[in-house]
């Protein structure tokens, strides 16, 4: 790690790759000799359109997205998508299936019920959202418009080791794990993700949706929320989040330089193993998530003696280990180790946790 920077374990907005920040810094005042910043440039400028074209080409290459999917760089976060995709993908009177694995799945269900029927086909609340469903536990509704999952719950730290096979289009909120592992895009009707964890700054949302699913929006859908309108206008019927798209494009370039998603997944698995292996060998800390379903991106953990929580966080900050407090809804600790977190940061965290255990165990 760069000696002047601290290890940022924030769940989002999250750390960005240092080379991306340095490139953005160098181009902040004058992009490509234009005498202005990207933030000041028209989104119709040829130079900016070149950035857009490169960003789309690179995300398609990295994720293996074929031409029969639209790639939309939208705004409003994943939370807007909770309401937006039901308007686009569910016909009036049609039911949609939802899998309830935690906080973000819950929010999606709540929004879907405003405009139609959302059938919760599996709910892990009784087990405190500590695992993903097994394939045999899912019974889908015949004729459902789609099946929705949150592929990685940022707060609970669970993920799907294997995605469910469905007849209806599978829709996934991948906000906290997009581009962290290889997925078969063809298994999904749509993937969406807020950018502020693995892709770029807050304000940008990536939507990847199969072409045959768009163009039949509910009559009450505002035009700016219609995927067909967005796709037909190059996702620019209004001014997009120009600077966020620019940063995302730099992140895509960085990912290619790392060796693509296959290589980044190997790195992420190794980082997660460092932390989980330590948690499994100690009685001082523990992980609340079933081993088979543990997230590679968000690692919640707890101290057996929670009276030590404040001391742990205070000393962690003194050791340049930031944002380890768990979400307010569940407490405990959480280390988010997205793509941009170097392995040295995880090693430093484990070393600190060992030292803290020795002192207080």
Question: Which residues form the catalytic set?
Answer: 104, 173, 197
Burial status of residue 66 (CB atoms within 10 A of its CB: 0-12, 13-18, 19 or more) = exposed
Residues 6+ apart with CB under 8 A from 67: none
CA distance 174 to 196: 12
Dihedral sign for Cα 156, 157, 161, 164, please. Answer: positive
Three-class DSSP category at 360 = helix
What are the residues facing 294 on neighbouring strands?
158
CA-wise closest residue to 82 among 198, 144, 175: 175
What are the residues facing 192 on neighbouring strands?
173, 207
Query: Chain-centre distance of CA 201, in angstroms?
Result: 12
Beta strands, E only, the chain = 7-8, 69-74, 95-100, 117-123, 147-150, 152-153, 158-159, 170-173, 190-194, 205-210, 285-286, 298-303, 321-322, 333-336
What are the residues facing 208 on neighbouring strands?
71, 191
Phi, psi at 97, each rounded to 5°: -95, 140
Residues 192, 81 contacting (CB under 8 angstroms): yes
């Amino acid at each position: 790690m760069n000696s002047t920077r601290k290890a940022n374990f924030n769940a989002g907005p999250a750390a960005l790759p240092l080379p991306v920040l340095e490139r953005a810094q160098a181009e902040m005042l004058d992009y490509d000799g234009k005498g202005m910043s990207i933030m000041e440039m028209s989104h119709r400028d040829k130079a900016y359109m070149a950035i857009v074209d490169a960003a789309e080409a690179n995300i398609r290459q990295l994720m293996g997205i074929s031409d029969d999917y639209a790639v939309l760089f939208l705004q409003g976060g994943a939370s807007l998508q909770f309401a937006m995709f039901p308007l686009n993908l569910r016909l009036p009177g049609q039911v949609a299936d939802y899998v309830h694995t935690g906080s973000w799945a819950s929010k999606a269900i709540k929004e879907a019920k405003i405009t139609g029927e959302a059938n919760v086909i599996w709910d892990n609340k009784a087990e405190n959202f500590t695992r993903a469903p097994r394939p045999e536990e899912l019974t889908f509704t015949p004729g459902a418009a789609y099946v929705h999952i949150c592929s990685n719950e940022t707060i609970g730290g669970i993920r799907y080791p294997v995605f469910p096979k469905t007849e209806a289009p599978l829709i996934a909120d991948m906000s906290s794990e997009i581009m962290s592992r290889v997925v078969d895009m063809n298994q999904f009707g749509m993937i969406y993700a807020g950018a502020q964890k693995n892709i770029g700054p807050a304000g940008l949302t990536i939507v990847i949706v199969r072409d045959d699913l768009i163009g039949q929006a509910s009559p009450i859908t505002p035009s700016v929320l219609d995927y067909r309108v967005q796709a037909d206008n190059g996702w620019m019927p209004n001014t997009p989040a120009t600077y966020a798209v620019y940063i995302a494009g730099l992140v895509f370039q960085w990912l290619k330089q790392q060796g693509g998603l296959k290589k980044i997944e190997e790195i992420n698995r190794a980082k997660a193993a460092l932390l989980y292996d330590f948690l499994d060998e100690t009685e001082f800390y523990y992980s609340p998530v079933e081993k088979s379903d543990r997230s590679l991106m968000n690692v919640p953990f707890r101290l057996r003696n929670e009276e030590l929580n404040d001391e742990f966080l205070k000393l962690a900050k003194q050791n340049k280990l930031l944002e380890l407090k768990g979400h307010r809804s569940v407490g405990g600790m959480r280390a988010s180790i997205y793509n941009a977190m170097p392995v040295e940061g995880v090693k430093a965290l484990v070393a600190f946790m060992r030292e803290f255990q020795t002192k207080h165990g």
